[in-house]
Amino acid sequence: MEPRLVGPGPYRATRLWNEIIELFRAGMPVRKHRCRFKSYERCFKASEAVDILHELLGSNQNFGPEVTRDQTVKLLKKFLKNHVIEDIKGRWGKEDFQDDGHLYRFPPSSPLKSYPKKPSCGKEIIKFPDWNEPKAGTSQEHIPVKSVTMNSEMWYKRHSIAIGEVPACKLVFRRELTQTNIEEIWKSMTLSQLQKVLGLDSLDEVLDVKLVNSKHIVQNVYNVNKQGIVTLEDKSKELPHWILSAMKCLANWPSCSDLKQPAYVGFERDVFKTIVDYFDQMKEPLLTFHFFDVFVSVLGLLQKHSKAVEALQISCLLLPPENRKRLQLLVRMMARISLNKDFPPLSESVRTRTLMVQAFSHCILCSKDEIDLDELLAAKLVSFLMDNYQEILSVPSALKSSVEDHVERLQRVQIKCARADTDATFPPPPFCHQISTDEFEYQRATGSQEPLAALLDEIVMNKEIPVKDKKKKLKQFQKSYPEVYRVRFPTPETEAVLFPEKTKQKPPILTWALKKPFQPFHRTRSFRM
């Protein structure tokens, strides 16, 4: 059985768990072993299981070569706890797995997990105000609006003579967007883009959208300093000063000008342990329990680098601002320590980069229900974060521009015409005041008819329009605006003056010019026979 890449989607952790079990059972050789003068059929040693599983995980593109032997042992402990394997006496669950010569075997029952059925919470439909409807208690017809002067070029563009009708135009008034409206727009467009990048039909199986706080998204986008780090409004949620100092000390090692560093050997190890202990005592990981399935699903895109970066950019915008800030500071420190060749080793047996991943993976990503592949999935994600943290933990510029353009478009007043290619947009009126009925009737008459009358005069006076086309345009204008046309041409005679008929001349009678006057026929002498 060949390993395959498990892409994004619901229950990805469970799908990976089942695949690893199937690969392990298919690839683990079993044979007869003796233990304490007794033979056992179809079993294997613990150390052999560690060798096979470690090699399998390292060659699997879902995990990669960074998986350590210690992580492999931890996974086999979970295999024993979940009855994927059992010892030769049939014991499992509470037994401890060690990397030694103890004998184990596969139980006859299937160890694969069924996919969990999450309670259906229903799709959340984010409702926005109907921007095309006026507020309650007001009528769009009773709002005085400054008339728009239309020239012939604009009129020709909007009203096609070939269609045979002039569509009606109307002003579309927009409601003023509140901060809540803008936050909900950010939430809707962010989740829509995340769903698109993940290639899912719905986010329901990987995320409960009701748990997404729209205020967090807006704060993570706009409340940032020059370095792109989130600034918090509530200062009580900041990291303690002594932790910030410790992280800054290790990130800038050995040149940390504002700190007086002790001279004893092993100082940096003590500082590192202090930071690890602080993050270990957190009750919830930085990526939160609610978003575990989202980030696990994103791991299925790691083979497509740009897609994975974009998906993580968007996913990290959903975090509470204090979590995002701590993640930014922690991952930046981890990356700088790993790349610092002058940094003294923090362990005698483990590389610095591997130690960073092992020390902080659990406090960055883990499941509330202790899913069996937590450590491996978290290590994979943290490694990718360390390599690309500057891109991932920055605000996605494309999404920001898209949302801001959409908000700006909604805040305009538009003139919409049926079958018009483009809309003429105008800034919203600064204010409106109530007027009397008579004044409204007068404004409606003068405000709408004067521009149309000017347009009609322009058509009449335009000498560049051929007579045939001018007649068609006037006929179309008369059909669409009969009242305005009647004022300009009250009688057929006034219209006839515009197109005077030419007098038709009869063609002259054809005369033949005769050289001699007509003479009667004279009988001539016939030839004699």
How confident is the model at residue 266, as a pLDDT?
A: 83
How buried is 272 (Cβ within 10 angstroms: 0-12 exposed, 13-18 middle, 19+ buried)?
buried
Do the domains 12-105 and 181-403 sit in the same CATH topology, yes or no? no
- φ, ψ for residue 104, nearest 5 deg: -135, 165
* Distance in angstroms (rounded) separating the CA atoms of residues 499 and 482: 19
Q: Quick check: helix, strand or coil at residue 192?
A: helix
Tens of pLDDT, residue by residue over 277-317, are 999 999 999 999 999 999 999 988 888 899 999 999 999 99
Name the average pLDDT for the chain: 79
Is residue 423 pLDDT above 90, yes or no?
A: no
Highest mean pLDDT among 87-91, 96-100, 355-359: 355-359
Q: Cα separation of 262 and 267, whole Å?
A: 7
* pLDDT per residue as tens digits for the range 113-140: 776 655 444 444 444 444 444 444 444 4
Burial class (CB in 10 A: 0-12, 13-18, 19+), 52: middle
CA angle 273, 279, 281 (to 5 degrees): 105
CB 138 within 8 A of CB 181: no
Residue 172 CA to residue 174 CA, distance in Å, equals 7
Q: The tokens of 120 are what?
A: 């259906």
Confidence band (pLDDT; 50, 70, 90) for 47?
Answer: very high
Question: Distance (Å, rounded) from C-alpha 103 to C-alpha 47?
Answer: 9
pLDDT bucket at 519, cuts 50 / 70 / 90: low
- What three-state secondary structure class fits 44? strand
d(CA 483, CA 453): 10
Among candidate residues 462, 466, 457, 474, the one with its CA nearest the CA of residue 149: 457
Question: Which is it for strands 31-34 and 103-105: parallel, antiparallel or unpaired?
Answer: unpaired
Range scoring the smallest mean pLDDT among 181-190, 240-249, 258-267: 258-267
State which H helix or E strand residue 59 sits in: helix 46-59
Class level of CATH domain 181-403 = mainly alpha
**Sheet holding 169-172: strands in order across?**
169-172, 413-417, 424-426
Residue type for position 453: A
**Residue in the structure block whose two tokens are 């729209």:** 214
Instruction: Read off the tokens for 409.
Output: 């478009």
**Domain boundaries in the chain?**
12-105, 181-403, 465-494
Most confident of 139-143, 384-388, 452-456: 384-388
Q: What are phi and psi of 20, to 5 degrees?
A: -65, -40
The CA distance from 191 to 213, in Å, is 11
74-78, 257-261, 262-266: which has the minimum mean pLDDT? 257-261
Quickly name the fold that domain 12-105 has: Arc Repressor Mutant, subunit A (1.10.10)
